[in-house]
Chains A and B, each alone.
Chain A
Amino acid sequence: MNGEVAAITMAARPKVAAAAVKDAAITALVALGLFVPIVGLRTDVSSAGTLYLRERWGDVAILVVLAFAGRLGLLTWRGLRGEAKPATAARTALLARAGTFVAPLLLGLAVVLPFMPGTGRYELDLGILVLTYVMLGWGLNIVVGLAGLLDLGYVAFYAVGAYSYALLATTFGWSFWICLPLAGILAAFWGVLLGFPVLRLRGDYLAIVTLAFGEIIRVVLINWASLTGGPNGITGIPRPSFFGLPFSMSGEPDTFAGFFGIEPSPVHRVIFLYYLILILALLTNWVSIRLRRQPLGRAWEALREDEIACRALGINITNTKLTAFAIGAMFGGFAGAFFATRQGFISPESFTFIESAIILAIVVLGGMGSQIGIAIAALVMIGGFEVFRDLDEWRMLVFGGAMVLIMVVRPRGLVGSRTPTIALGARRAIGAEHVGEGRG
């Protein structure tokens, strides 16, 4: 404990200390107001089967004291630390160097994960889940992070991809490798379809329309039962095969295990799926990075900065926006197709607004526009969510608290600096301190 140091500081600055105590008291009061109805009063079923109100004043008291102590501790810590130091150029350079070091490390880890000791079915499934969200984050990043178009309905393209794959594969029996590009193209088509009516919208208005679009797709999927199976979804979606060799337990020569002469195991398919999503995610990343250096990608970033200036420079705003929607949607569609083949079953329940919100949160927490930041954010959000599974209903609280913490400590996202997309000679990272906060 740093109580002694804190006491000295407080003695030196009694006014500051009094203000801190007052602030903490107000926090405690707010906590009291919140926790009395949320925690203090609880309806329970008695042994006789009737509802009764259980009072838990002890718990409320503990929480209020915690809030008071936490606030006081935070203020004391801030007081001791003094004024927040702005990120210096040296720190920015260091972060940039760390970034170039972290990315290959994470990639290497991702590649060898299936063969690391201690990696079982559960770890692989979690890895697949995380990578799916990494891919979705990178896809949405094109629309939100680069082009600055706030899209709250990204899950719609995920759904279009998943249903496209499911319907094509179950109706025509086409293989995954034919359906995957088709699902991406269909999703891109829907991206353009969404893009047209919202060409003139920005910011809040765009967000509302995209939110509605996401809901419309979901509601159509529920109600168009003859095509989509309605709320029951689509079952029996073909599982992926290894370029025509099915993953089967029989060990026949025309199965994966038989062809390569290895012991049949259900893990083979999971490992294959893992590498499949890893490759798809890396493809998304590669395309994003390449495009950022092309005129189109620069136009996206310029569009995010200032639409009127873009027009003045002769940039075609319509095409720039539509391609952002289309390419972002295409990767959402790829991820959707992968989701469908992995699950073998899809229903509209998998494509609710909360999915859009999680993907957007990954992009924002990662630091809009930063590829590595998004990967880390997906790992933290999705992986962290799983790690805290034992906490049951407290999990959401930890999750929410972590998000608030990240936004307090790093308001511009985990990786806030960016490399210029366009340069003569050496590229220099631009410090986060110059990046506007919360501006799309």
Chain B
Amino acid sequence: MQPIPLWKLPFVARKNVFRQMDPDDVFNLSMTSMKSKLIIMKLHKLPPANFSWHIGRHQGNFWNGTCVVSIVEDEMNLYICFVDPNINGIKVFVEDLREGKSFVEKYLTSILFDPNGKQVVPQIVNRIYNTKAFYQSQKKRRDNKTMWRLLSRKNKAGFKKIMEKNRVAQTKQMQDGLTKYRRPSETSQFWITAEGWNLREGLQTTGFVQNIFFKLCKKSG
């Protein structure tokens, strides 16, 4: 096949190509060179995804990274929230690692909610994130975070107010859009994929010690 020089296409066309590509392909394209990555970061900014989880009595939410939860109970609640209003299909895949079988058919539960209806939640807007990152959720450095002790009393009060607002909104979201899932076994793996989008999360248990190793790995970034 004759190659087509992508970088020599006009700017509008190039942007158009990136926008029409599958996110997985965009990810692969960004891996070809540093220049590609920088260009794609500029042209194909993917919206951040926020994944909230609730496993037994442990709960939390974060943007990107790895988290270990030591105690797991049988019931698991999963919740995903996207900034992008265009996403409306989110599926939860459950896989048993021990059996090597997929429980997609048996245990597949779709998180049946329309993220379009969740726009009122201010949780994402108020977060500090690196705007230069491929994923907006990726922080450049840990110390970009404002240190709590350096804030003035007034700012602290403001933050507390926002956090409280978020907490209330999140609770409501959890009640509305939460999917409750009962683990089929201790060594189950949970895959959460947003249809045609940039998120692929793996959630797996390590069996004997009943630890859940929760890894949020962005397939496309």
Is chain B a partner of chain A in the same complex? Answer: no
